Amino acid sequence: MPRPTTSYRCTACGATAGKWYGRCPKCGEFSTMAESVSAPKLSGLRASAQGSAPARAARPVSEVAAGEPARRFRTGVGEFDRVIGGGLVAGQVCLCSGAPGSGKSTLLLAVADSVARTSGRPVLYVSGEESVEQIAVRARRIGAATPQLLLADDTDLGAVLGHIEAHPDAALVVVDSVQTVASADVDGRAGGVTQVMEVAQVLTRVAKSRDLPMILVGQVTKDSTVAGPRALEHIVDTTLTLEGDRHTSLRLLRTVKNRFGSLEVAAFEQTDGGMQEVVDPSSLFREQRDAPVPGTCVTVTVEGHRALLAEVQALVAHTQNPNPRRGVSGLDSGRSAMLIAISERAGRLRLFDQDVFLATVAGMRLSDPATDLAVCLAILSAASRKAMPLDMLAIGEVTLSGDVRPSPMTSERVAEALRLGYRRLLVPVGTRSRLGSSVPASRLVEVGSLVEAELALRAAPEPTGTTSTPMVTLRPVPALDGDPVASPRRDARGEPRLS
């Protein structure tokens, strides 16, 4: 009698091997080969090389009638509805992942309670990580006390399917989490490659056959990727990630994949009473101050169809270390190094003996090329101690030659900046002609290069409450052999001499 076969599957790329490898031979990732046990195949069941008759013949695309728009229903949580494309679709399967403690269970419990209240139909919340008593404590804390919200704690896939069959009129099913549920039909531990794939495929088939929306919670690894095989993200319709720093209450819900809408981002604030929606998150990603500070520049980034204001901060400090440090937080390190080099050349800076640190506010992650100009101007502002006015921001991509190029969705970026009271916008050349008369020309300052942007910054009126100081502060130093304290001498360029 044939026995089960054991193989090893890469959780990153899905490649299989007959033995274990410390490094995947296909994608090169380390420690991703997981054991996979497959059931024995019976002889005589191999597919015929001649194929079989299809259920329906293939038809030309011109003869296929376009289907109606997907039927959606809103959950009642506005930001959650917007990030998934306007509401849940019948039969839609969502995968929501996030770091431990980010608030996944709290957010989805609030969504389940809202669906139960608005639809009047039962909503099933199945947890494999907590008991129903523990879930009830959280539910009372966030005010989720709808009688239609049904709680269950099971880790067996058969029991989960039994709960679904017992409530055929359920409006939504939440499974927390897919890595804790195991099927008795396949071997392997819960959370393994084989079990995760089997559980996800079975639950997806059930959701599609019953037109039942389903949300699966996914655990993440130490590098913030979904635990389990990468194919799990291909099975589901929508993939969501909940991001947030454990030291702040701000949480960002991002759409990584969505078959029924565009990629969006939503902001929530984690409080004692649950996850609260942040309708206007632009105010969270920039500092509120009365006087401008050197080394800061505001820009506009786009997440999906939402324009968000973000602030870039730079610090340039003298160092005695022969290898100056370059620290980055919230920005891509490789692109930041490139922008530092461009700023050094275009701004005629001397950064070989300066530490440069770049960061964003409130944990915002910026990968939009349209924020390049703001990063460069923040560096120039920090190095020259010239603060940008509070009503000025910068939008544009910077090339290696120092030119400023336009970015997509310029009209949305400009509209968001004007809505929040910014009166001077540094934008690429040609923005006025593209926007036409919809934006006052006096609000737009067109720059074609980083040099022109620096000149515009220097030509701006000196902000009140700030003073310009040199990049290197000169302090009196004691002379040798008991001589009185004297200031260091300067060379022809005005730089302090070391000897």
Query: Is the predicted pLDDT of residue 482 greater than 70, yes or no?
Result: no
**50 pLDDT band (50/70/90 cuts)?**
low
Residues 150 and 9 placed together within one structural domain of the fold: no
Residues 204 and 117 placed together within one structural domain of the fold: yes
Give the end of a domain, one of 279, 294, 329: 279
**490 pLDDT band (50/70/90 cuts)?**
very low
Give the end of a domain, one of 253, 279, 305: 279
Strand order in 5-10's β-sheet? 16-17, 5-10, 33-38
| pLDDT the model gives residue 487 | 39
Q: Tens digit of pLDDT for each residue in 158-177? A: 999 999 999 999 999 999 98
CB burial string 450-482: b at 16+ within 10 A, e below: bbbbbebbeebeebeebeeeebeeeeeeeeeee
Residues 95 and 141 placed together within one structural domain of the fold: yes
Residues 447 and 302 placed together within one structural domain of the fold: yes
| pLDDT the model gives residue 152 | 97
Query: Is the predicted pLDDT of residue 417 greater than 90, yes or no?
Result: yes
**How many C-beta atoms lie closer than 10 Å to residue 191's C-beta?**
18
Residues 300 and 422 placed together within one structural domain of the fold: yes
| pLDDT the model gives residue 499 | 39
Q: Which residue range forms the structural domain that includes residue 20?
A: 1-39
Per the domain annotation, does 325 fall within a domain? Answer: yes
User: Rg for the chain (alpha carbons), in Å?
Assistant: 29
Stated pTM of the model: 0.74
Q: 210 is written with which tokens?
A: 């019953």
Per the domain annotation, does 449 fall within a domain? Answer: yes
Residues 172 and 315 placed together within one structural domain of the fold: no
Mean predicted confidence (pLDDT) in 302-307: 87
CATH number of domain containing 212: 3.40.50.300
Mean predicted confidence (pLDDT) in 242-246: 82
Residues 220 and 315 placed together within one structural domain of the fold: no
Q: Tens digit of pLDDT for each residue in 353-367? A: 999 999 998 878 899
Query: Is the predicted pLDDT of residue 81 greater than 50, yes or no?
Result: yes
| pLDDT the model gives residue 68 | 55
Cβ contact 117:151 at 8 Å: no
Q: What is the mean pLDDT of the chain?
A: 86
Residues 274 and 289 placed together within one structural domain of the fold: no
Least confident of 142-146, 286-290, 391-395: 286-290
Please give the tally of structural domains in the chain: 3
| pLDDT the model gives residue 473 | 35
Residue ranges in 211-292 assigned as alpha helix (H): 231-235
| pLDDT the model gives residue 62 | 83
Give the end of a domain, one of 231, 248, 279: 279
Beta bridge partners of 72: 89
| pLDDT the model gives residue 357 | 98
Residues 413 and 324 placed together within one structural domain of the fold: yes
CATH number of domain containing 326: 3.30.230.10
Query: Is the predicted pLDDT of residue 467 greater than 50, yes or no?
Result: no
Mean predicted confidence (pLDDT) in 44-60: 68
Per the domain annotation, does 137 fall within a domain? Answer: yes
Per the domain annotation, does 215 fall within a domain? Answer: yes
**C-alpha–C-alpha distance, residues 317 and 106, integer Å:** 42
Q: 78 is written with which tokens?
A: 């506005």
Per the domain annotation, does 437 fall within a domain? Answer: yes
Per the domain annotation, does 385 fall within a domain? Answer: yes
Per the domain annotation, does 427 fall within a domain? Answer: yes
Mean predicted confidence (pLDDT) in 275-300: 87
Residues 312 and 398 placed together within one structural domain of the fold: yes
**C-alpha–C-alpha distance, residues 81 and 495, integer Å:** 58
| pLDDT the model gives residue 484 | 37
Residues 301 and 216 placed together within one structural domain of the fold: no
Per the domain annotation, does 186 fall within a domain? Answer: yes
Higher per-residue pLDDT: 18 or 460: 18
Residues 309 and 275 placed together within one structural domain of the fold: no
Percent of all residues in the chain with a pLDDT value above 90, rounded to a whole number: 58
| pLDDT the model gives residue 191 | 83
Q: Tens digit of pLDDT for each residue in 2-48? A: 567 788 888 777 788 888 999 988 888 888 888 877 666 555 445 45
| pLDDT the model gives residue 468 | 46
